[in-house]
Structure formats: C-alpha cells, structure tokens
Amino acid sequence: MKVVVGMSGGVDSSVSAYLLKEKGYEVIGLFMRNWDSSINNDINGNPNLNVNICPQEQDYNDAKGVCDKLGIKLYRIDFVKEYWDNVFTYFLEELKKGRTPNPDVMCNKYIKFDLFVKKAMELGADFVATGHYAKIVDGNLYKALDKNKDQSYFLAYVNKDIFKKVIFPLANMTKPEVRKIAKKLNLDTASKKDSTGICFIGERNFRKFLSNYLPNQEGDIININTKQKVGRHIGLMYYTIGQRRGLNLGGDHSRSYVVSKDLEHNILYVANGDENKYLFSTRAIISDFNFLSDLKLDKCSAKFRYRQEDVNCQILNISNNTIDIVYDKTRAVTPGQFCVLYDNDKCLGGGIIDKVFE
C-alpha cells in the first residue's frame, strides 16, 4: 500500500513518515509550496521590499534531508496561486469586515486536504498522511491522545469523505514521544521548534506585514460604558475581541479589553476589567457549518478557539448550514473565528461564528 506523506519540514511529519515506513507502507514525501514572498506587492500593486523571505526554503531543505535519511523520495508541488485565491484572499476579506479569520482552517480545507490529496492520488497513493495530532475511527474525526497538541479543531472544515483516505500516524502519541523518536534517529528536525502563528507571516511583525495589503485607517477608542474617548487605534483589523495588550491605554484604562468594533464609524470599543459583561456571551449563530456527523438537538461541547477549553453547549436550531447554539457563559467568543462541536472526543463538525449574543 502506497502512502503519500505531507512533509512540512517539521518533526511531526518527519516521524510520521518514519512510522509509516516501519509499518511496511511504501512511503512517498510531498512538500507543498504555498507562499511566494516575491509576490508580496503593496496595496498599490508595487513590489514590497519590506517583507522578509519566507522560511519555507529551509523547511524544504529539512524535509529533503529527512527523506534522504529515511530513503524516501520527495516531490515538491506549487500551490501558491491556489493558496492566494482560497486562503489569503479570504483572510484579507474577513479582516476588512472587522472579523477575526483563521487561515489555517481554510488551508486544511482547500490545500492540504483537497489539492494535496488530488496530487497524491495522481502519484498512485492508496492513502495520504500528515503530521497532524488527530485520530480517524471508521472514517470519523476524533481528538488525538495528546489533548495538549490535538489539532482536530483545525480539521473540522475538511470534506468528510476525504478522511476515508487519511492516516494520522501520531494519533496515539504524545509530542515528547515524537521528539524522542526523532532524536533517536538523529533527524535534522528533532529539535526544530514548532511553527507558530500564521504561516505566511511567520516571525514577521503582523502589523507591518498587513499594512502592505490593507490601508491603515486610524480611529477613536471609546469606553463602551462611559462613552468617553480614551485613545486612538491604528486600524480595526489589528484588534480582536478580548484583546488587552497593544492598546496603549494608560491610567484607569490600562486594564481595558476590546469588546466590540463599529466598522461604519471606525470606532473600537473597550471596557475595563477582566469580568466586564461585554466580554462574555451565552449564545451564537454559527454559519457555513461543515457536518462531519449527524447532529441532534441535544447537548454537546463547543470549542471557540484552538487553545480554549471545551464549553458545554446545546443546539437550539439547525437550518441548512446554520446552527443556533447556547452555551455556558464564555469569554471573548469572536465573529469570524471557528466554532467546532464535539461529542466527547468525536468531532461533529465546525463553522464560522457569525453573531454573538450576551
């Protein structure tokens, strides 16, 4: 049986390839090039000279080194245009609406578990595999054993039928165990740090990067309780609900949090204190829901952010791909982000948070 592994140049995909080979699969590596820093033009279409080169060339070299050591052939495929059209454009459009997008979710949907899978099948693959921490049981998506690293949240928007052809070799492993194997094999990626943040921004300054694509529009910061102006923001797209750092508010407003945005009047609203009522909600409308399993009008749990604990919730209504849910009082549920529903460890699907209610 032939398996094509998505080789990212990280330790997780490296060990995944090794584990599959040890199990007797014929393993082929496939490196996806999704971003080209040479096309980083500014908002006027001029070449942007302020954006650093993306580190993906080093990632490719690391993937190549691992594949050479394991005796695996590595292919390289270019999805730059498709990534721009399906992921980066979505990212910019959501920011223009004052929402908080999640490009990693869209990358999994349109690139890693669509175009990558199609290319793998062209290479004669029976299955595809990645270094994600997640589990497939009878074609259904579940949380991985390592709950601290579980990535099912990012996979909830993938077409369910794809999972029939997917293997997650790290489903029942912990991150320390993965690194231990990599070090034992003396792989170049054994001590490589996990990638963080948005892949096309990397270690670059978010504001500096984004200013090349969206113009800044400064405006007032207003305390939602007193209606008084307490500062100036540098553009609504740079802020998210629940944010406190980077507001540059002093005095009595030093512990203020972002609680809402007024796009029409270009106002950023804040409120003081960790427990201010504007930070919390108990109901949300989830749109464009991707069903991975049949949903019942019953209790389940919801995850509103990757690192956020699951929250008890109940589905009030399902209308086509829109779901109305109520949940335990939760902090900073943010329009534009993804809500993923679970039945214990089983992932039921996910959609985009559209509206939030107190």
Q: What are the tens digits of pLDDT across the range 56-89?
A: 678 899 999 999 999 999 999 999 999 999 999 9
Domains in the chain, please, with CATH?
2-184 (3.40.50.620), 216-274 (2.30.30.280), 278-357 (2.40.30.10)
Residue 202 vs residue 62, higher pLDDT: 62
More confident residue, 249 or 338: 338
Q: What is the C-alpha separation between 227 and 221, in angstroms, rounded?
A: 10
pLDDT at 49: 45
Residue 107 appears among annotated catalytic residues? yes
The pLDDT confidence band at residue 42, using thresholds 50, 70 and 90, is very low
Is residue 67 annotated as part of the catalytic site, yes or no? no
Q: What's the Cα-to-Cα distance from 330 to each of 242, 249, 259, rounded to whole Å? A: 11, 25, 13
pLDDT average, residue stretch 305-316: 93
Whether 351 shows a pLDDT value over 60: the answer reads: yes
Q: What is the pLDDT of residue 204?
A: 58
Q: Cα-flanking dihedrals φ and ψ of residue 220, to 5°? A: -85, 145
Number of Cβ within 10 Å of residue 235's Cβ equals 18
Query: What does the alpha-carbon distance between residue 236 and residue 96 come to, in Å, rounded to a whole number?
Result: 9
pLDDT at 199 over 70: no
Q: How far apart are CA 127 and CA 162, in angstroms?
A: 10
In the chain, the amino acid numbered 338 is F
pTM given for the model: 0.90
Give the tens place of pLDDT for each residue, 252-286: 777 899 999 999 999 999 998 877 889 999 999 99
Q: Is the pLDDT of residue 358 over 90?
A: no
The answer to whether residue 356 scores a pLDDT higher than 50 is yes
CB 58 within 8 A of CB 69: no
> In angstroms, rounded to a whole number, what is the distance separating the alpha carbons of residues 1 and 70?
17
d(CA 164, CA 160): 8
| Confidence bin at 298 (pLDDT 50/70/90) | confident
What pLDDT shows up at residue 200?
Answer: 64
Map residue 67 onto helix, strand or coil.
helix
Contacts of residue 33, Cβ cutoff 8 Å, sequence gap at least 6? 56, 60, 76, 77, 78, 79, 80
H helices of 108-219, in order, are 116-122, 152-155, 175-184, 206-210
Q: Which of 199, 300, 339, 347 is catalytic?
A: 199
Q: What is the pLDDT of residue 57?
A: 76
Element (H, E) at 318: strand 311-319
Residue 44 predicted with pLDDT over 50: no
CA atoms within 13 A on the CB side of 74: 24
Cα four-point dihedral sign 277, 283, 289, 294: positive
pLDDT of residue 52: 47
The dihedral over CA atoms of 112, 63, 187, 193, expressed in degrees to the nearest 10, equals -60
Distance CA 170, CA 179 (A): 12
The pLDDT of residue 132 is above 80? yes
Q: Average pLDDT over the chain, rounded to whole?
A: 90
Q: Does pLDDT of 210 surpass 70?
A: yes
Catalytic hit among 54, 67, 107, 339: 107
What is the C-alpha end-to-end distance of the chain, expressed in Å? Answer: 52
pLDDT mean over 85-98: 93
